[in-house]
């Protein structure tokens, strides 16, 4: 596909290849085989719902990357990647879910034909999309090659967002604001939860103005009452009830870029302990934003949050955030830095995080969160603009 139709400029893709190759050299890797759809898209622009079959990107130390996957998905690659057509390779459909052959046999043959039969190959071992069987077949079929665990090698290069990426994330943030406000406005006793989520989903896909909405990497999370004690329940057909809290964990998505945002609503008169917890959470968020400065550490954000919560008698010492940006199901996190008291990763301008200090207690749950970007100087910027509070609808 001509580069003028790709999501980003050639300079942006060249930047990504350059920093990834530097990391490959440091790790002693000759060829990188990338299976994570987010990493594939980041390096090449590939965008398709084909990650349920074996596919990936091959990146050597020179030349353009190569997209490799199922032949019927090769046209989708040609429509979305920035490279020329000859950089797209498809394997025959007879490999798909076969009991007698495996797609990694095709990949191994391709690598040998490229002169990489004895190379040191990096693979993403801890990844949803690279199976134990795939690794076993690939290593058995390439007996003269050596293999290195390249888990998160590309992910770490994605941490600092470019100006082009930040434009997409800010567009996603406008969609996040829209759908969170919609959820808060529409929530009322008697409304079936699936109907509310349907409205949220429609609004998310409609987007804001000309900025259309993409599907998010995580579906809307909207548990109520006792279900809100669990962070990852979705929705059901129950009707919303007076006297219950509901949190909404949502994200707008623009061209695969996310900006998650969570807010909570109580239908009726909330107990004072919920109001107090919400105020403490807001104070913790604001303290964390103040600590989220370039040169500080990820742990400083978590410690600032925890100090405010501890003042209110809340002991929450788990992870309270993670990097976000480009992603595919089942997760919108980048799986590198953790905002926790033991992570000493140095914060850099352009890093983006979902600052996510949810409270999930024995009988209720509460979420107030922000997607933030580390500023060149001063405290971090929250990318969405929705009041930080427990919303109450009497």
Domain with residue 374: its CATH number is: 3.90.230.10
Q: What pLDDT sits at residue 371?
A: 98
Residues 318, 354, single domain; the answer is yes
CATH code of the domain in which 66 resides:
3.40.350.10
Cα dihedral sign, 334-339-343-346: positive
Examine the fold and report which residue of 106, 125, 157 is the final residue of a domain before the chain moves on: 157
Residues 138, 186, single domain; the answer is no
**Is 0.95 topped by the overall pTM?**
yes
- The 10s digit of each residue's pLDDT in 78-91 is 999 999 999 999 99
Q: Is the pLDDT of residue 5 over 80?
A: no
Confidence band for 1, pLDDT divided at 50, 70 and 90:
low
Phi first, then psi, for residue 237 (nearest 5°) are: -95, 10
Residues 114, 40, single domain; the answer is yes
**Average pLDDT value for the chain:** 97
Residues 10, 70, single domain; the answer is yes
Q: And the tokens for 155?
A: 């992910």
Q: And the tokens for 129?
A: 């999309």
Residues 139, 185, single domain; the answer is no
Tell me which residue of 336, 356, 333, 331 sits closest to 348, measured CA to CA: 336
Confidence band for 140, pLDDT divided at 50, 70 and 90:
very high
Sheet of 245-254, strands arranged across: 245-254, 257-267, 390-393
Residues 346, 325, single domain; the answer is yes
CA 140 – CA 108 distance, rounded (Å): 9
Q: What pLDDT sits at residue 4?
A: 73
Find all residues with CB under 8 Å of 167, minimum gap 6, and list them: none
Nearest 10 degrees: Cα torsion 146, 151, 153, 158:
150
Q: What pLDDT sits at residue 227?
A: 97
Find all residues with CB under 8 Å of 394, minimum gap 6, and list them: 268, 269
- Mean pLDDT for 20-40 is 98
Confidence band for 3, pLDDT divided at 50, 70 and 90:
confident
Confidence band for 206, pLDDT divided at 50, 70 and 90:
very high
- Mean pLDDT for 320-341 is 98
- Mean pLDDT for 25-33 is 98
- Whether cis (ω within 30° of 0) applies to the bond prior to 174 is no
Q: Give the number of other Cβ atoms within 10 Å of residue 385's Cβ.
A: 12
Q: Give the number of other Cβ atoms within 10 Å of residue 294's Cβ.
A: 16
Q: Is the pLDDT of residue 187 over 60?
A: yes
Residues 151, 167, single domain; the answer is no
Residues 47, 93, single domain; the answer is yes
Residues 151, 178, single domain; the answer is no
- Mean pLDDT for 244-271 is 98
- Mean pLDDT for 120-140 is 97
Confidence band for 6, pLDDT divided at 50, 70 and 90:
confident
3-class secondary-structure state, position 257: strand
Q: Which residues of 310-324 are buried (b: 16+ CB within 10 A; e: fewer)?
A: eeeebebeebbbbbb
Residue with tokens 């693979």: 123
Q: What pLDDT sits at residue 311?
A: 94
The count of structural domains within the chain is 2
Q: Give the number of other Cβ atoms within 10 Å of residue 349's Cβ.
A: 15
Per the structure, the complete domain to which residue 92 belongs is given by 3-157
CA 65 – CA 304 distance, rounded (Å): 42
Phi first, then psi, for residue 340 (nearest 5°) are: -150, 160
Q: What pLDDT sits at residue 317?
A: 79
Residues 174, 63, single domain; the answer is no
Examine the fold and report which residue of 157, 181, 197 is the final residue of a domain before the chain moves on: 157
- Mean pLDDT for 284-307 is 98
Examine the fold and report which residue of 157, 179, 211 is the final residue of a domain before the chain moves on: 157
CA 362 distance to own-chain centroid: 28
Q: DSSP character for 94? A: G
Tell me the three-class secondary structure of 294-308, residue by residue: CCCEHHHHHHHHHHH
Q: What is the largest CA-CA distance in the chain?
A: 70
Q: What pLDDT sits at residue 348?
A: 98
Confidence band for 211, pLDDT divided at 50, 70 and 90:
very high
Q: What pLDDT sits at residue 383?
A: 98
Residues 130, 232, single domain; the answer is no
Residues 249, 120, single domain; the answer is no
Confidence band for 2, pLDDT divided at 50, 70 and 90:
low
- Mean pLDDT for 261-276 is 97
Work out the percent of the chain whose per-residue pLDDT is above 70: 99
């Amino acid at each position: 596909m001509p580069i003028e139709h790709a999501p980003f400029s050639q300079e942006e893709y060249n930047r990504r290849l350059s920093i990834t190759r530097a990391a490959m050299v440091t790790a002693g890797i000759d060829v990188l085989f990338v299976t994570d759809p987010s990493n594939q898209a980041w390096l090449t622009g590939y965008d398709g719902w084909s990650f349920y079959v074996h596919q990936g990107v091959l990146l050597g130390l020179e030349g353009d990357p190569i997209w490799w996957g199922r032949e019927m998905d090769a046209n989708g690659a040609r429509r979305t990647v920035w490279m020329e057509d000859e950089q797209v390779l498809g394997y025959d459909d007879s490999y798909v879910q076969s009991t007698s052959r495996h797609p990694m046999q095709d990949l191994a043959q391709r690598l040998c034909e490229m002169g990489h039969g004895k190379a040191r190959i990096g693979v993403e071992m801890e990844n949803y999309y690279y199976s134990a069987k795939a690794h076993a077949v690939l290593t058995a079929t390439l007996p003269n090659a050596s293999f290195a665990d390249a888990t998160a090698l590309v992910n770490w290069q994605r941490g600092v967002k470019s100006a082009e990426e930040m434009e997409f994330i800010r567009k996603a943030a406008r969609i996040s604001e829209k759908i969170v406000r919609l959820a808060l406005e529409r929530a009322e006793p008697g409304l079936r939860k699936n109907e509310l989520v349907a409205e949220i989903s429609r609004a998310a896909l409609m987007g804001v103005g000309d900025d259309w909405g993409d599907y998010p990497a995580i579906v809307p999370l909207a548990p109520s009452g006792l279900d809100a004690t669990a962070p990852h329940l979705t929705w059901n057909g129950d009707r919303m009830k007076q006297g219950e809290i509901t949190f909404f964990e949502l994200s707008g998505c623009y061209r695969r870029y996310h900006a998650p945002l969570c807010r909570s609503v109580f239908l009726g008169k909330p107990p004072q302990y919920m109001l107090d917890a919400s105020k403490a959470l807001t104070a913790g968020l604001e303290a964390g934003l103040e600590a989220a400065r370039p040169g500080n550490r990820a742990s400083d954000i978590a410690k600032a949050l925890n100090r405010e919560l501890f003042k209110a008698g809340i002991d929450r010492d788990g992870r309270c955030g993670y990097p976000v940006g480009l992603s595919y199901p089942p997760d919108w996190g980048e799986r590198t830095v953790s905002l926790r008291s033991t992570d000493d990763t140095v914060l850099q301008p352009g890093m983006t995080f979902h600052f996510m200090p949810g409270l999930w207690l024995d009988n209720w749950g509460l979420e107030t969160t922000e997607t933030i970007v580390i500023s060149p100087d001063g405290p971090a910027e929250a990318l969405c603009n929705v009041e930080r509070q427990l919303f109450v609808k009497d």
